[in-house]
Structure 1
């Protein structure tokens, strides 16, 4: 709708009448104080009304009005919102012909972004949380403003180690980048105070030896429903008598973030050199680059094959403490595991099947193992329902004896019963 300067008084009167006649209609109004001065009246050539969903208005306005102000400044327009009732509100754009069209495009883009908003949980160290909340949360507000997201600190858990970030995918990725920069800033200070690493970060730093220790425990399965079941994912299978599961839920996201952080840190050549190991100890915790993979993982040294007077790299067997399988790696692909990567419990939970034994009472056949891998979606990250029927102990390790049920199909499948039906085992129930 266009108008010349002679129609401005009537427009102002109409606008006032509309807004005064509806209770609570004026939700937000960013009109410059001198908008209707004679000087500005000469510039106004067009008014445009855009319908926007009611629940997107707050997103369009932004925190403290920053988003709408930016649109106004970039398009030389003035934007206000009125509420005619119903599911939508009207955005009133006033300015030049080109300005209102540009403002309309930006508003509609914001509406589209709002539809793509998601909430993501990002896990960080307690030290990072302390930095974010220090000095009246200035750092937290700064990151939220720069990324145009809303960030909340998890206040439910006793140990605050996660952030809830509300924004688009790209905005959330910006938050991740800011957090990684913060962690990078912490590394020099952590290096100076650690007894296991050199005082300065240097490619020629003296190589050190990791201590043989078990500072982190393995996760344990606990029921999450009244019938005693919990959700798990099978990560590695040796046989139905020895396999590993991971708990499904927040731990899965936290592990993904941990692997990303490990990979980001140890993919830097200088970091690998600084945390290189000169002498290995069986049982020590390390970071490793898995064969045929681009990611770094947490591991425990199982065996060592270092030949003296050989130009070849040493060979190590390393158990992946978050997945359960053991891999063979060369010395350059192993490094000291920084203490900050031990804040999360090891995720590989050793288990065995309940109420079933292999046919003949001997070892499980290869076909039986393959069938079990298929039935449990091994390493496919599908959720199964698990119930701990009892616990066993082997080499000081707690082993859960499980009943597993597949609920991914129309009819629930008891894994043990299915193995018996396929004649790979017999029931002991």
Structure 2
């Protein structure tokens, strides 16, 4: 390469370096200008933080349902709003507002206005019939939760039922005036639905013919092989909480008897008996469902010897007739009423499968707190008990489960019975003692056979 060529290359190199240097200088100046502009803008838009105390009873209203109110204030004022965790369950909350000074102040003003305008919270107490509480609360609390959601009010049913005399239970409602009004209307609708159902139940009971008094055969009426008689879930669930309306359907002794729960199931049972009676009254149907074989523990269709109706019955004992199997004597326990009686095999029939759907309605019970005044319960004591409880007359009394007692393989509810059909309540156990048919038992004893005095052994 010649000297002239080297000079050209050097000149080009110097020119390139000079251009790059000038570019970097100008770029730095531009960046400095941008930084100064950002700093100036930041100085004029610095965020302000405002903390304000919110009364505990106003926090929910300020936040709104699912945060709707506080979100709206944030959008209007272009701020960020948060709440600090309280120091304790009764402390007020601290609201933190972040944003431009004028925006934060506007958000503070809107929150203060919301607090001032929040509806006044009220608390009222209302009384409803005890028997309507199940419908108000609903299965697993579904009904009362729905009413709370619809009305916006808080609805609390008193857990204690202390007034069996008037049959009422207290309900507390908390909320705004509008929420209280809506909640009361929803509760009243449930009460009216229950009253309408009760009228249908009472009409159904009024149409029942009184069952001829026939005492169950103690020891055979418990079901085959001393198996547990199906117990109504409603009696178990309600008994721990208060009183329940029942019909005394069958009596062994004043200390040992059966009840049916007064509920919509009573209407279902009447319809079932009507359908069974209509079906098995036809000879052709009985022949179609003739008992070809039968064993202890089978549930069959059987007539009751003292009326013209057909019922579901469990075979508890067989007395074989080798010369004529159709005349084999079946001791049967009527699972929906508690009676026990004897019918011939030819009089009974196989139970059609669609008649099995309804749970057994008879609930075996012991009377709480008393035992016979003598060695055993007398006929006079039995007659007195049947009179006091309207046995098999389909007039209800109040029952309360106080505990359960083991009887063979069964856990039998031990109950108090109170007649509330007149102006003065009548405690059945107290009345038996007052009339000389019973004495008070030791704590834990019942009026069942097991509680009889030692002279009976």
TM-score, with structure 2 as normaliser = 0.45
Which fold has the larger relative contact order, with Cα–Cα distance below 8 Å and residues 6 or more apart in sequence?
A: 2
Which structure has the greater CA radius of gyration?
2
TM-score, with structure 1 as normaliser = 0.48
